[in-house]
Amino acid sequence: MSAPQHRIDTSPKVSDEIRQTTCYMCACRCGINVHMKDGKVAYIEGNRDHPVNKGVLCAKGSAGIMQHNAPSRLRKPLLRTGPRGSGEFREISWEEAMNTAVGWLTEIHETAPHKLAFFTGRDQSQSFTSFWAQHFGTPNYAAHGGFCSVNMAAAGIYTMGGAFWEFGQPDWDRTKLFMLFGVAEDHDSNPIKMGLGKLKERGARVIGVNPIRTGYNAVADDWVGITPGTDGLFILALVHELMRAGKIDLHYLAQYTNAPVLVDGETGLLLRDEDGKQLVIDRITKKPTPFDQKGVRPDLSATYRHAGVTHRTVMAHMADRYLSPDYSPDAVADRCGVPADRIRAIAADLARVAFDEAFELDLEWTDFRGESHKTMTGRPVSFHAMRGISAHSNGFQTCRALHVLQILLGSVEVPGGFRFKPPYPKPVEAHPTPHGQGRPGRPLAGPHLGFPRGPEDLQLDEKGKPTRIDKAFSWENPMSVHGLMHMVISNAHAQDPYPIDTLFMYMANMAWNSTMNTSGVIEMLTDRNDDGGYRIPRIIYSDAYSSEMVAYADLILPDTTYLERHDCISLLDRPICEADAAADAIRWPVVEPDRDVRGFQSVLIELGARIGLPGFLNEDGSPKWKDYADYIVTHERRPGIGPLAGWRGEDGDQAGRGSVNPDQLDRYIENGGFFVEHIPDNAQYMKPWNMDYQDWAVKIGLFDAPQPFLFQLYVEPMRKFQRAAEGHGDQQPPDHLRDRLKQVMDPLPIWYEPFEQTLVDTDQFAIHALTQRPMAMYHSWGTQNAWLRQLHGKNPLYLPTKLWQQHGFKEGDWARVTSAHGEITVPVAHQAALNENTIWTWNAIGKRKGTWALSEDAPEAREGFLLNHLIHELLPAKGDGLRWANSDPITGQAAWFDLRVRIEKVAAPAEAQPAFDPIKSPVPTGPTTLKWKVGA
Ligand code: SF4
């Protein structure tokens, strides 16, 4: 007889109630179930019904409970009392804080709105913050895209109406060969992990191209440890091989891209009819014909001679360029650090899978020319890329090259390939152009950020000077569609192009990890004029946490945590759509703040009304919105179109379009915090050309009219800038920029050497240095998190075997790393799976003493470090009397990854160098031992 067993409760009740909202521990926006016990957050799990994560939760997501309760949370508004950078503040009431901000901002609004520079970091409410700035009338607004991945986004939109991540995703269920380029672990986090899981389950092949083999690259079947900054060359060598072998999708190119469009032999512009439609030669009539005519059969190899000029197709120009031996694998192998045979083998694999393993899906559809098709052709090759290839001075053209490669294979928007997520794809023509001519007391005529079609859209004054403080949309970076946040402080300090009065920032740690040249930026923030006043007179900053930037502001508006606020993850902004559905979501206060803090967007609503911004007042002068929740529900961007697409209309029974529903947020909460509208089956692929998709998109309010378009292998707006540099047109660049513009604004992708290595002695600075964000941290947010700190409490500098052995390093050693700009001394570690000339470290682990409620001897403050000290926002001087920006010359994207360094072994100092004086913390230090129990 067995002994009696104790009864064990294997499923104890973990909560009294579950509240469903959206995670904000990184930018992926997964759905979460927040378990509440005794009114407190007890536990967080993934929401299985949510379209983004389907129940999957990462380490960051589950550690949200520690973020929400972090000791580093700010508690009350603060007004600076000591000098900037001292961290000395006094706590003030919200009334005093708002009166101060309203006083400063009203004066500027009424006299010189351009003296406000309003820039936001990783905020997920850009459609609202840009609306606020537009109504303020300042030209100086952008979010953090300029130092993150604008090259990827801009290159994608100009080429095919969207890029990766929020714009689209691989067809995870059908792809057989997946290549990812330059992707760190956190972009795009759970969806990529889930996708890779699906691929592994089906035995699909994954090729990772990245100098560093960690994370996704560690589970790839093949790893290509490419030399940083040469991805474009590698991709164009693949293009060379595919074109040489004839392994490109000629039908797809002829029907759906501008490959058959005629390029004017004189101007290099595209030939158009009187309605502005691009012209092709019809293989049947042999005549120039608008591309969208019913029955047209565009001829890829046609020539058209007219008035003594021969016009050739885009395809012919591409053949001239990419069949050149300059792009052969043998010609590029050494520079890329990838053997020629390996490049040829990868090209052959791409061709084999795309063409030999092609398949048909029985999905009937009608294209924009009115022709019906019984099936859709699948090409099971897909790509994903992120910041690794875009944060270079040649990043825009590299990203363009990758999009062109996908298109040549015919693998975009087809089964098995890369699929867009609504509201993408959207052609450039569906996006606004930039706006920036403000007048005192008046709003701008349109949004700040847009897509220039040519020199006429630059933001310049009558003397040709930039009108924006970051010099976005100037000849220095004409297509800077996300602005240049990394240049704001240095330009404001230099008073170039003009002095500003107030720098207003949200969630952007510009005095530490979100800036190049960290020490220099700290000096700029604290520098004074001869009269003793600060060079940047006023700084207002909003953050939820005691970050490094707090000490450098004059007025702090403390924000809530993500569990205490309303947010909308909107189709007007950066939604959470899937390739087969439109979706959006909310955050709502699952817990009320226990501190005197307010959601930043609600603060902006009140500021807008009190300053008297036109869009923020009713006709009788009363505030238009009570708070952000009220705005989310009642604001209409166009009639019937608001921030949230779900449960619109008086009865809440309309999707996408519909009048305001006062109960909309309740409906979202009842549904788990999100809304999904599925795309009909026959509209799920070929979206740019599929009239069923176009009609569905109009029905739910993504567009007001169908907008089918051709993918733009040849980007005509670039040719317009290039022509201006050649001397054509009224708008002319300054002479010192002409040669550069002629080179880089090439309408077909090119590769050029990253700028930094053309200016430094590469024998002396022979090593590439990179950063990556870890999967378990989101920028600096994770470093205060008691659980996540256990994963990354410090960050060594990883060295490849060759350098490790060459310098005789052992575990526990330290190295001095020197760039043309500065030096750091840091602990090292060995990593074999690394490009042999590349060193790297995790980003944003290192912390300044006195911040984030960490103790002064925390590992983050003593052994953690930033590579940022080695990177300058300007390139090394080249002897022409000018300092050129360390940015992509097309979009202005910060070229973080062009960094070149040298290393030497040194004796271990007491702590990582440079070490900064501690800042006085506005919050008490967190406990040494954390004990946590919720409920009885
Ligand atoms: S991937 Fe990002 S959004 Fe999703 S659970 Fe993790 S931290 Fe949260």
pLDDT in tens, 351-409: 999 999 999 999 999 999 999 999 999 999 999 998 899 999 999 999 999 999 999 99
pLDDT of residue 1: 52
Contact 129, 123 (CB under 8 A): yes
Indicate if ligand 1 lies below 6 Å from the C-beta of 57.
Answer: yes
pLDDT above 80 (res 936): no
Rounded Cα gap, residues 295 and 288, in angstroms: 13
Q: What is the CATH number of the domain that holds 766?
A: 2.40.40.20
pLDDT of residue 106: 97
Q: Is residue 925 part of a domain?
A: no
pLDDT above 80 (res 935): no
Given 558, 582, 617, the domain boundary residue is: 558
Listed range (123-127, 319-323, 338-342, 663-667) with the worst mean pLDDT: 123-127
% the chain with pLDDT above 90: 91
Ligand 1 geometric centre to CA of 66 (Å): 14
Ligand 1 geometric centre to CA of 190 (Å): 6
Q: Which tens digits make up the pLDDT trace of 662-691?
A: 999 999 999 999 999 999 999 999 999 999
Q: Is residue 624 part of a domain?
A: no
Q: Give the tokens for residue 455.
A: 């020199």
Mean pLDDT of 846-867: 95
Indicate if ligand 1 lies below 6 Å from the C-beta of 163.
Answer: no
Q: Is residue 831 part of a domain?
A: yes
pLDDT band at residue 777 under the 50/70/90 scheme: confident
Contact 282, 297 (CB under 8 A): yes
Indicate if ligand 1 lies below 6 Å from the C-beta of 29.
Answer: yes
Alpha-carbon distances of 327 from 159, 241, 337, 368, 405, rounded to whole Å: 21, 9, 15, 35, 14
Ligand 1, atom nearest to 59 Cα: 6
What are the residues whose beta carbons fall under 8 Å from the beta carbon of 512, sequence distance 6 or more? 518, 547, 548, 549, 780, 844, 847, 848, 851, 866, 868
Mean pLDDT of 246-272: 98
With H, G, I as helix, E, B as strand and everything else as coil, classify residue 779.
Answer: helix
Pocket test for ligand 1, best of 20, 28, 775 (most atoms within 8 A of CB): 28
Ligand 1, atom nearest to 189 Cα: 1
Indicate if ligand 1 lies below 6 Å from the C-beta of 122.
Answer: no
Indicate if ligand 1 lies below 6 Å from the C-beta of 28.
Answer: yes
Indicate if ligand 1 lies below 6 Å from the C-beta of 67.
Answer: no
pLDDT of residue 779: 77
pLDDT band at residue 881 under the 50/70/90 scheme: confident
Q: Is residue 368 part of a domain?
A: no
Q: Is residue 98 part of a domain?
A: yes
Q: Is residue 253 part of a domain?
A: no
Q: Is residue 785 part of a domain?
A: yes
| Strand 309-313, strand 141-142: pairing | unpaired
Main-chain dihedrals φ then ψ at residue 196, nearest 5 degrees: -60, -35
The strand pairing partners of 586, in sequence order, are 568
Ligand 1 geometric centre to CA of 58 (Å): 6
Given 541, 558, 575, the domain boundary residue is: 558
Mean pLDDT of 734-741: 97
Domain containing 104: what range? 91-145+437-558
Q: What is the CATH number of the domain that holds 461?
A: 3.40.50.740
Ligand 1 geometric centre to CA of 46 (Å): 9
**Number of domains forming the structure of the chain:** 2
Question: What percent of the chain is helix, strand and coil (3-state, nearest 5)?
Answer: 30, 20, 50
Rounded Cα gap, residues 721 and 747, in angstroms: 10
Q: Give the tokens for residue 222.
A: 């093949």
Alpha-carbon distances of 671 from 191, 312, 436, 553, 747, rounded to whole Å: 21, 55, 40, 40, 46
Given 494, 523, 558, the domain boundary residue is: 558
Task: Count CB-CB contacts under 10 A for residue 183.
Answer: 24
- The pTM score is 0.97
Ligand 1 geometric centre to CA of 147 (Å): 22
Q: Check residues 149 and 538 and name the one with the higher pLDDT.
A: 538
% the chain with pLDDT above 70: 99
Q: Which tens digits make up the pLDDT trace of 84-123?
A: 999 999 999 999 999 999 999 999 999 999 999 999 988 8
Rounded Cα gap, residues 561 and 656, in angstroms: 29
Q: Is residue 361 part of a domain?
A: no
Contact 46, 29 (CB under 8 A): no
